[in-house]
Amino acid sequence: MAKTVLMLAGDFVEDYEVMVPYQALLSVGVNVDVVCPGKKKNEVIATAIHDFVGFQTYAESRGHNFVINKSFDEVKIEEYAGLYICGGRSSEYIRLNHSVIEFVQYFFEKNLPVAAICHGIQVLTPANVLKGRTLTAYPAVGPDITVAGGVYKEIDADKAVVDGNLVTSPAWPGHPAILREFYKMIGVHIG
């Protein structure tokens, strides 16, 4: 039976950070339910494209529309083999949803695989699951990790950090690294 992963996203999720892992997981036979608080199956979230074009931080452009494939209110958390938290601006507000925090806590309590990329780590910080953990994120999120009791590790954008059931990467150039580790965690073997 195919494994199913729960993917958390919302309006202005970073385009690559939802599209690439969603499609990559599907390509290796993993079912992926993408949910957003307050959204139902077949509703759309807007994505944003983050790029470095000479400013001190990234610039944001409008990306694609992404169709949610599962209603948030229909999630049965015990049906999932892993959790994938996308980055982008959606992380700063979906973490305000009590059910999102409960989902995160469930995966950590059960020691199930969790992947978070870029700003997605902002969903982990209010869940009280980072104490003593070593992880990475977009550098501007590093202080959030420290305040939440974790150890922020600054690495190249194309790398990932694994600490137990948690794998993190600072940005979308890290897709090969974070996905390679997440596949192992959920039991997907390639080649």
List residues with catalytic annotation: 119
Angle at 175 between CA 58 and CA 62, to 5 degrees: 40
CB 35 within 8 A of CB 70: yes
Residues 6+ apart with CB under 8 A from 25: 5, 32, 84, 179
Q: Which helix (H) or strand (E) holds 147?
A: helix 142-147
3-class DSSP assignment, residue 89: coil
The residue among 149, 179, 145 whose CA lies nearest residue 162 is 179
> What single-letter amino acid sits at 22?
Y
Residues 6+ apart with CB under 8 A from 70: 33, 34, 35, 41
In this structure, what token pair is assigned to residue 169?
């990467």
Give the C-alpha separation, 142 to 145, whole Å. 5
